[in-house]
Structure 1
Amino acid sequence: MAAPRDRVAAFGGMVWQVGADDPRRMVHGLKVALALALCSLFYYVHPLYDFTGGNAMWAVLTVVVVFEYTVGACLYKGLNRAAATLAGGALALGVHWVASQSGKELQPYVLTGSMFIMAAAATFSRFIPTMKAKFDYGVTVFILTYCLVSVSGYRADEVVFMAQQRLTTIAIGAFICFAVCTLVFPVWAGQELHVLVARNMDKLAAAAEGCVEDYFSDPAAVDAAAGEKPARRALSAKSQGYKQVLNAKASEDSLANLAKWEPGHGKFGFRHPYGQYQKVGAAMRCCAYCIDALAACVGSEAQTPAHIKKHLAGTCLALGRHLATVLREASGCVTSMTRSDRLGLAAADMNATAQELRDKLRCLATVLEEGEDGSPEAEQEHDAVTELRTSPLMEALPLFSAASMLLEVCARAELVIGAVETLATTARFKKADHDEKAALDTEAPVPAASAGNPVDAH
């Protein structure tokens, strides 16, 4: 008895968690119930039933198949269904009239042939990318309506009256869906896309910073003098946010397509550039692919010894923090729909630190090469330089790969900045009204490299 009770408790906890994560899901269920209750009045109220007759069930069916979570999805399906029903019904009535004029013997052949041609052409049109993206559901409803009207009209005497009643009840159901979905706690697809892109940018910033910290923080590593191999490490939860960015393409494309059906609302005008959000998402995925490669360096079996890794740790950690700052500033601009000079200043700091890392990489490579060639030591050089030069160059290759990949992430972050600036221009984001100089003064200073760094000495 304990096992079934535990399963029921676990299922109840999961249901509660789903509602607690987003209370709008519970509200959506109540909205669907409200729309169905309003449509049922056309059965229960006598004057309304006289107006629609037995075809009132089509209004209920319309609510079930049309009502969606976001306003854009509801309008997409509702308008597609209404237009497809009108086009399919009108075309079927025209073919029915032509078939009736051809005589009783030829009428079934005309109806069957027209249905064959229409169904084949409409089904093929669903493979066209533009039709599939915008009117896929409408094409399906068109085929259904045309077949229902043309086939049932062969035996029915009042086919025009039947088509008119069905079209009326479908329009009533669609109108109820639009009214409830738009007026009662609406969920806008455009706003969901806006929040999704900004949230993914924050996750990308945390992942980039976390991967650099994971690579240079080595609590399990042993002393190099012991001669033991550095242990493999796993990514922290903070560093794995880039995976959600890589998997967000389908959601971004779907929300961008649905948002184009929505009317203007709030800060989102009628011609808001939702397509630019897809370009921002594509730029973030380019950056996330490089972060994925950087994350692979963290868990790689080939690890650079800690006494070599420490010579680039300060600069790489500083670059990781600057990179995260740039992405968070870009996310803040998208979230607040403002243009800030802080984004350009943060990008300049990132580029300056990236150039410093390039210089140190060249210096470190020179130091290691001189150590392999057996060049004489200068008397005034630090003892750490002697230790560094005795290390083989092959041990430093994983460090060079990680640092180069970090530089590539910074280069791809520039693409994200460019896409965000294009979005700010096309969407007419307002200028931020905060004091830029005071804001920059409050930022935490980036720790400088140690004066005793042997690479700097070289």
Structure 2
Amino acid sequence: MAKIVENVVKSISKVAEDDPRRVIHSMKVGLAVTLVSLLYFFQPLFHDFGTSTLWAVLTVVVVFEYSVGATLGKGLNRVMATLLGGILAVGLHGLATQCGHIAEPLLISIFVFLQAALSTFARFSPKIKARYDYGFLIFILTFAFISVSGFRLQEIIDLARNRWATIVIGVFSSLLISIFVFPVWAGEDLHNLIANNIDKLASSLEGYGNSYFKIQENANAQDNEASMLQTFKTVLNTKNTEDILANFARWEPSHGAFRFKHPWKQYLNLGALTRECAFRIDTLDKQLNTNFKKILKFDDGIKEECNKITLEASKTLKELSTTLKNTSQSAPCIAHQVAESKDKIKCLKEVILKSMANLSADYEKLQVVITEITIATILNDILNYVEKMVDCNRELALLANFKQDKEYNSPDSESKNDIPAVENSGSLISTENRDNNLSNVTVVNSSQVVAITIE
């Protein structure tokens, strides 16, 4: 028994340590429920609403969410759905009563069926499901509840009025506490999530540069921990969280650096590019782990260029993450770093082509060259996505009117096809270099070299 209690305490402590705001949120919900429950003891309101006061308590329990955006979205959905459902139910119930006692239950049944069927079908729409799914659910519930209540018309009007008024009280109480008592903004969480994801990519690239591409004079550099190399993996599965936070953020009022109608969609675009870059880093990770022995045989020149590229890309991403966290526009140094990375890719291309010019029939050397081209191609893809992330962040800063530290001038766009292309998992690699009299190199199945031709 003591062991079970200890495990429960540890689990609860871990939940609180992961995000201390959860403890505050729990207290906020308790405060809201307590305040609304006091309506039972306030005689004028209880005398007016009667047992309908219970709906205020239920509304707080159902509507109060972790973030302001989630609470506001759910609260407005509930208020408007209850209002529209009540008005429609009262109107159609009045129409049915004018058709006689025989036709009345038949018409009400038809109205309830049509309303429930059409509303449920509308919920399948992606746009409605994203923002108004809860509202349609309450709309169905309110309409059906009032329509089949069996009361007279005046009693139904009173029922609808009391229920809507108590729901408004519950929603207002929830919003009041959610916004003014230690608010949790979904927009800020999304903003920080994207910035932290970019920083994780930077940490992984820095780790790969120092761990796999060290040359002899850097051999005594401190190794990065394995956990640092794998930080990018947490970025791969953040799409669902980003979508949810962006949906909640659209409901939130202006706060801090985030205006009303803030370009939240641009955050999703930046998040998508971040994940694409993470997938490329994952491919690089697999190549480095699979071909570790071949990487040790790389020329020092190729190792040095790969190390420079990964570290330069890491610096760019760290700077990008910092500017995003500070809600400022990109500094000129980011554009300079992107340009330097492109120059280093060109240098890596030249070094690889020189090594290919001295190819022999040595099978082992051919495999090393294939690995060099594959890794260079992956690095080129990573740099392309880093550049896209910089451009996307610049557009976000302009749309959001972030503070401008310095004027951002991006370098002229250069060709992105500087590195020999690797198709899929290295099934086809080709390059051309007429200056070195190396016109065509084709490798089939890079994992197991079947044939290589040099013309």
TM-score range, shorter chain: 0.7 to 0.9
SS of residue paired to 1:329: helix
Residues 17/302 of structure 1: CA separation in 2 closer, same or farther (3 Å cut): closer
Output the aligned Cα RMSD: 2.3
Q: Distance in 1 between matches of 2:30 and 2:402?
A: 39
Q: Distance in 2 between matches of 1:113 and 1:49?
A: 35
Aligned partner of 1:65 in structure 2 is: 62
1:129 matched to 2:102: no
Aligned partner of 1:402 in structure 2 is: 375
Q: Distance in 1 between matches of 2:210 and 2:242?
A: 30
1:40 matched to 2:37: yes
Report the Cα offset of residue 310 of structure 1: 3.9
Q: Distance in 1 between matches of 2:140 and 2:170?
A: 20
Identity percentage over the alignment?
37
Q: Distance in 1 between matches of 2:187 and 2:249?
A: 5
Moved more, 15-24 or 150-159: 150-159
Residues 323, 350 of structure 1: 8 Å contact kept: yes
Higher relative contact order (CA 8 A, sep 6+): 1
Deviation sequence 1:135-191 (CA, Å, 0-9, x none): 111000101101100011457861111111111101100110010101101011111
2:235 is matched by which residue type in structure 1?
Answer: V
How many residues were matched structurally? 400
Deviation sequence 1:18-59 (CA, Å, 0-9, x none): 212321110000000000001111112222311321111100
Aligned partner of 1:264 in structure 2 is: 254
Q: TM-score, normalised by structure 1?
A: 0.83
Report the Cα offset of residue 361 of structure 1: 1.6
1:327 to 317, 320, 330: 317
Aligned partner of 2:53 in structure 1 is: 56
Alignment of 1:34-433 (within 5 A): 34-154=31-151, 158-216=155-213, 236-300=226-290, 303-304=293-294, 306-308=296-298, 310-339=300-329, 340-367=331-358, 369=359, 371-372=360-361, 392-432=365-405
Residues 216, 309 of structure 1: 8 Å contact kept: no
Report the Cα offset of residue 299 of structure 1: 2.2
Q: Distance in 1 between matches of 2:271 and 2:94?
A: 52
Residues 400/144 of structure 1: CA separation in 2 closer, same or farther (3 Å cut): same
Structure 2 residue runs without a partner (length 5+) = 217-223, 410-455
SS of residue paired to 1:299: helix
Residues 165/306 of structure 1: CA separation in 2 closer, same or farther (3 Å cut): same
Q: Distance in 2 between matches of 1:305 and 1:209?
A: 17
Q: Distance in 2 between matches of 1:273 and 1:392?
A: 51
Report the Cα offset of residue 10 of structure 1: 3.0
Residues 238/100 of structure 1: CA separation in 2 closer, same or farther (3 Å cut): same
Residues 207, 238 of structure 1: 8 Å contact kept: yes
Q: Distance in 2 between matches of 1:262 and 1:30?
A: 22
Residues 259/420 of structure 1: CA separation in 2 closer, same or farther (3 Å cut): same
Structure 1 residue runs without a partner (length 5+) = 220-233, 373-388, 437-458
2:256 is matched by which residue type in structure 1?
Answer: G
1:323 is matched by which residue type in structure 2?
Answer: A
Residues 302, 398 of structure 1: 8 Å contact kept: no
Report the Cα offset of residue 235 of structure 1: 8.9
Report the Cα offset of residue 217 of structure 1: 5.8
Aligned partner of 2:441 in structure 1 is: none
